[in-house]
Chain A
Amino acid sequence: ERITYEATEADGVP
């Protein structure tokens, strides 16, 4: 199984 990760800028605390 292959997993794709995506990075996004976080405005606040997740």
Chain B
Amino acid sequence: DFVRTPEGYFRPNTTLEDGALVLRLDPVSESTVRDALATEFDRAPEYVQTAIREGTVTVNEDDVYEESRFYVVRDGTYYLVEPTANEYVVTGWGWRDPPHIAVEAIRLGGWIAGVALLVRAGEWSERGRREA
């Protein structure tokens, strides 16, 4: 909607003059651009309002329509609200996630069973050779 140049902000404007389309860039003030881009505080999502009131807010991904930045104006002050950190939380295991000691016990049990199986297999093959 706007063009930013070192000379300032401009808004594209087209007019039809004698059958020709004339494209102009009309200068606009920065405050015009700010007002056009900024969302009114009352119309911002609830978590964005909380972030402005308290400085930060943490929300579940499911509660966010789109992970993006917000440019918000509240009582003449402009705020930028942007995601700064994502925390991955393992969900779905819950109580089924075995405690560390249980995992160690299962691992040890596997070793013992494996060694016992090797010894037993050796005995069986020895017996087979003797009977042959």
List the interface of chain A (C-beta within 8 A of B). 1-10, 12-14
Contacts and interface: CB of A to CB of B under 8 A. Distances in A.
Interface of B: 4, 9, 30, 33-34, 37, 47-48, 51-52, 55-61, 64, 67, 69, 71, 77-89
- The majority secondary structure among interface residues of chain B is strand
A1 to B, nearest CB: 4
Contacts, number: 77
B48 to A, nearest CB: 7
B79 A1 contact: no
- The majority secondary structure among interface residues of chain A is strand
Lowest 6 CB-CB distances: which A-B pairs, in order? A1-B61, A7-B51, A10-B80, A4-B85, A10-B78, A6-B84
